[in-house]
Structure 1
Amino acid sequence: MTSTKNAPTLLDEVRAFRLHHPDVRYVDLLSLDIPGHFYGKRYPIDMLEKVAAGSPLKLPQNCVLLGAQGGLYPIGDYCFNDGDPDARRRLVPGTLKPVTWEREPLGQMLITSDGTAAPIEFEPREVLARVLQRLERRGIRPVVAFELEFYLFERALKDGLPQFPRDPFSQDEDDQPNMHIERLSRFSDVLRDMVSSANAQGVDANVITAELGPGQFEINFGHCDDGLRAADWAALFCRSTRGVALKHGLRASFMSKPYLQAPGSGMHVHVSLYDQAGNNLLAADQQRPLRHAVAGCLALLPHCMPIFAANHNAFRRYGAMVNAASRASWGFEDRDACIRIPESSPHNLRLEHRLAGADANPYLVLAAILCGMEHGLDAAQEPIAPLNDDRTSGIDFPKDMPAAVAAMRGHPAVNEGLGEEFVMVYCENKRQDHLAFMHEVSAREYRWFL
């Protein structure tokens, strides 16, 4: 339930929004579930004002547990043994924004259970909030920047398969090479709209890059000293980007590996740690804390793979083509490494975690990275050799979902860092999703075994 002290701020926000957008009659109230999909309700704007004034906002608790296709699985006492109870949500201040890609005027606003009297232990935003609160008690403030790769496709599939986007001028397939500035010009209308629509949501989206794959792009975000807001930006960007693509007659997808013969799409996360005085903790003592943080990330990485590779397709990225590691590794200015240390000044020293697929849940990815860094700072151990010194250096990690779930489920540091209840729920959700995905006889099986 919204606290009394926050109600005036929320009321001011809603009333200012109504004043500037008098044609908006409805607002989508949104929250991210475990697979990284938005669920919620469409509220009349006048009812939203009542919620901002303190009226309770409730949604079913089990919305968070939805599988990749929206169904529910029996998980512990949840779903089919708990009566499907409602749980409180609150409005996230500063997130009420206009939606620019729909035909009719519409607004949207994030909601969450974190900060309520009874947070949902396995809600992704709540999981990240707990990690950030723990770091704050230790005097540690992360600064975070996400980078997201995605593909553009023709809107219609052909025989169930995605098609390369067509050049808006020549109608040829998009065949421009990596980093080619002409591709940015050829798709400038939709890319410019994606950035401006993200900016309208409060997302600091900025640099655009044409990537190696046909129709593949990357858009970067600014560095943010609020970890929750940084993850909010990543989630909201995915929603607005898909919506803008549809408005332009295209389809945008953050699927990790849409083409076997082309690079996959990743979620790269830059993280630095500062104390209350603004000093970069990673740069102290000749960068010893940086190395400890890297060692911690590498140690937990094999046990967080269901978070970094959130579905069957995501595992196809690893070891394929360029810049997709097959082992947990690190290096200075090395994009083949899972953890890259970009060249920077001591104040901006950071690590770039490059393993997660673009369709991973940004709240959980950041929570897992921060847990790894915290684990490393506590253990104070040196990492394995960087790839700059030894190209064979690395730690094996699971390459399929059943093995990944087994590695995550019982790991003490992961359970302690992310919460036992969350780990149980998340692992069972991923196990059930994998079983449901495999429960189909494919055309290849008939070709091989009929």
Structure 2
Amino acid sequence: MKSHSSTLLAEVRSFRQNHPDVRYVDLIALDIPGHFYGKRYPVEMLEKVAAGSPLKLPQNAVLLGVQGGLFKIGDYCFNDGDPDANRRLVPGTLKPVNWESQPLGQMLITSDGTEAPIEFEPREVLAKVLERLQHQGIHPVVAFELEFYLFDKQLENGLPQFARDPLSGDADDQPNLHIERLSRFSDVLDDMAQTAKDQGIDITVITAEIGPGQFEINFGHCDDGLRAADWAALFCRSTRGVALKHGYRASFMAKPYLQFPGSGMHVHVSLYDAAGNNLLAAHQQQPLRHAVAGCLELLPHCMPIFSPNHNAFRRLGGTVNAATRASWGFEDRDACVRIPDSDPRNLRIEHRLASADANPYLVLAAILVGLEHGLDAKREPIAPLNEDRNSGTDFPVEMLDAVRAMQQQPILRDKLGAEFVEVYCENKRQDHLAFQQEIHAREYRWFL
């Protein structure tokens, strides 16, 4: 612990020396819906925290709904006295923020690794899954891919407008995959990529996607699952900030336009032993088939994680590469679980179902639990789409059905934690019911 504190203290002091104009640092963590919460600390107080002073925030900040409200979930929020819970600083995440008007820093905090972790904190849920796999000699290597849309900064009657082409000034309203779009939007995209690198995120490929103003960013493969999910979370925060600085809005909303493709979170996962051997490639790739079977078996029960809100369910069965059934295939982007072409050393799955606005810690935790279950159960998967285009099993396509399927799944309760499953499902149910409490203008048009 003393060595850990000295490392953190050195990080804070180095940051202060390199960024003397920064007076405040945002200490941030991801809540259940995937939003950052936290506190803004004077940098001199941060140094005291790094030296060992307590860092406490309300435990129930993790339970916030999409709109920031508190829901009654068991005794949490209203019958527990709203207690504080310890957090710790995440080493290596103290970085400058360059999209605000004033100099600022930010640093991740978490309850995992404290004396009493919050069982339903997303990062803690993933940390427990990774720790269990490590004890089994399984070491995941992970890479996220995130799709997002750029919109004009100004909304029209609350609705998003196409991003303006910086070259022509016209709305970028043509779906395409053209490389020229990367050139036309290079100023904002280059700033997004550089800002992400300044945050310590390993950015690799940038792609212009099919939707108007839609792009995809790939991250490097990382042998630390927590860090890989940290990258995805931090990228969403920095990308929104950089977009505003350039006069745009960036959104990871799953389905902003009904007529255009939605935005997904694709996760590549390979599994290695301590010697660096790819576990999925052993025995003529039989473990790969078992892992796929486990993912597909649990996928229908993980839908509240992969599609965490009403809009995310709109993306399923969309115009491009968004499945409506749990399926798999080799080099097939219509499948939920795709096996990219690779050599045995790099053999992996690509899980393609999650929406871009899903919580990256929970998405990765759910995928890893599916892989773990498959390796334990050793069952054969259903036929791949390459052999049968109708292959697949149904999954819930409405939130309340999805919540019931997740809440009753014993493997998820065991592997993700029963307390987390209860809290998460009730949070999603309450969010969905709150969403239904507003009468849409369409209802008046149809029924008035």
The bucket for the TM-score relative to the shorter chain is: over 0.9
CA distance in 2 between counterparts of 1:407 and 1:125 reads 23
- Matched with 1:260 is 258
Deviations 1:168-221 (A, max 9, x none): 121111145432011001100000000000000000012100000010000000
Deviation at 1:320, TM superposition (A): 1.3
Question: 2:162 matched to which residue of 1?
Answer: 164
In 2, Cα distance between equivalents of 1:349 and 1:419: 29
Q: Which residue of 1 aligns with 2:339?
A: 341
2:186 maps to 1:193: no
Give distance in 2, aligned partners of 1:70 and 1:4.
Answer: 37
In 2, distance between residues paired with 1:84 and 1:53? 27
Matches within 5 A, 1:228-267: 228-267=226-265
Q: How far apart, CA to CA, are the structure 2 residues paired with 1:169 and 1:297?
A: 45
> 2: CA distance between counterparts of 1:4 and 1:26?
25
* Mapped partners of 2:208, 2:175: distance in 1: 8
Alignment equivalent of 2:317, drawn from 316, 319, 330: 319
- Encode CA deviations 1:74-116: one digit per residue, 9 max, x unaligned: 0001000000000000000000000111111100000000000
Q: Is 1:69 matched up with 2:67?
A: yes
Question: In structure 2, the residue corresponding to 1:107 is in which secondary structure?
Answer: strand
- Whole-Å separation in 2 of the counterparts to 1:95 and 1:159: 38
Q: Any idea what SS the aligned residue of 1:319 has?
A: coil
- Amino acid in structure 2 at the alignment position of 1:48: L
Tell me the C-alpha RMSD between the 2 structures: 0.6
- Rounded Cα–Cα distance in structure 2 between residues aligned with 1:317 and 1:26: 39
- Residue 320 of structure 2 aligns to which amino acid in structure 1? V
Partner of 2:96: 98
| 1:85 alignment partner, one of 83, 88, 91 | 83
Question: Could you tell me which amino acid in structure 2 is paired with residue 77 of structure 1?
Answer: D
Alpha-carbon distance in 1 for matches of 2:219, 2:411: 30
Q: Distance in 2 between matches of 1:106 and 1:294?
A: 44
Q: Secondary structure at the match of 1:144?
A: strand
Residues 129-168 of structure 1: CA deviation (Å, up to 9, x unaligned): 0000000000000000000000000011101110000111
| Amino acid of the structure 1 residue aligned with 2:14 | A
SS at match of 2:393: coil
What SS does the corresponding residue of 1:41 show, helix, strand or coil?
strand
Query: Are 1:142 and 1:226, in contact at CA under 8 Å, matched by a contact in 2?
Result: yes
Listed as ranges, the gaps of 5+ residues in structure 1 are: none
Identity of paired residues, percent? 79
How far, CA to CA, are the matches of 1:77 and 1:55 in structure 2? Answer: 29
Deviation at 1:402, TM superposition (A): 0.2
Q: Which among 172, 175, 182 is matched to residue 174 of structure 1?
A: 172
Rounded to whole Å, the distance in 2 between the matches of 1:389 and 1:95 is 45
Distance 2:318 2:365 in 1: 26
Residue 435 of structure 1 corresponds to which residue in structure 2?
433
Partner SS for 2:381: coil
Deviates more, 1:359-368 or 1:173-182: 173-182
Other structure's SS at 1:408 match: helix
Once residues 208 and 128 of structure 2 are traced to their aligned partners in structure 1, the CA distance between those partners, rounded to angstroms, is 36
Query: Partner of 2:46: helix, strand, or coil?
Result: helix
CA separation in 2, counterparts of 1:123 and 1:205? 26
- Residue pair 1:341, 1:350 contacting (<8 A) in 2 also: yes
Find the residue that maps to 2:87 and give its secondary structure: strand
Deviations 1:358-403 (A, max 9, x none): 0000000000000000000000001000000000000100001000
* Residue among 302, 305, 311 paired with 1:304: 302
The correspondence for 1:295, drawn from 263, 275, 293, is 293
Q: CA deviation at 1:5?
A: 2.9
Q: Is the 1:165–1:215 Cα contact (8 Å) retained in structure 2?
A: yes
Paired AA for residue 341 in structure 2: E
1:392 counterpart (374, 383, 390): 390
CA distance in 1, matches of 2:411, 2:31: 24
Query: For 1:7-37, what per-residue CA distance to the aligned partner results, in whole angstroms no more than 9, with x for missing partners?
Result: 0000000000011111111000000000000
Which of 274, 278, 281 is residue 280 of structure 1 equivalent to?
278
Residue 25 of structure 1: aligned partner: 23
- Letter paired with 1:261: Q
TM-score by structure 1 length? 0.99
Specify which of 383, 403, 406 is matched with residue 405 of structure 1: 403
Q: Which residue of 2 aligns with 1:379?
A: 377
Q: Secondary structure at the match of 1:111?
A: strand
SS in 2 for 1:5: helix
Runs of 4 or more above 3 Å deviation: none
Matches within 5 A, 1:114-125: 114-125=112-123
Shift of residue 4, structure 1, vs aligned partner: 2.6
Instruction: Report the AA paired with residue 60 of structure 2.
Output: N
1:222 pairs, out of 212, 220, 223, with 220
Task: Write the letter of the residue equivalent to 2:283.
Answer: D
Secondary structure of 2:256's counterpart equals: coil
- Secondary structure of the residue aligned to 1:59 is strand
> TM-score of the superposition, structure 2-length normalised?
0.99
1:336 is paired with a residue of what secondary structure?
coil
Q: Deviations over 1:412-433 (max 9, x none)?
A: 0111110000000000000000
Q: CA deviation at 1:449?
A: 1.1
- For residue 322 of structure 1, report the CA deviation from its aligned partner: 1.0
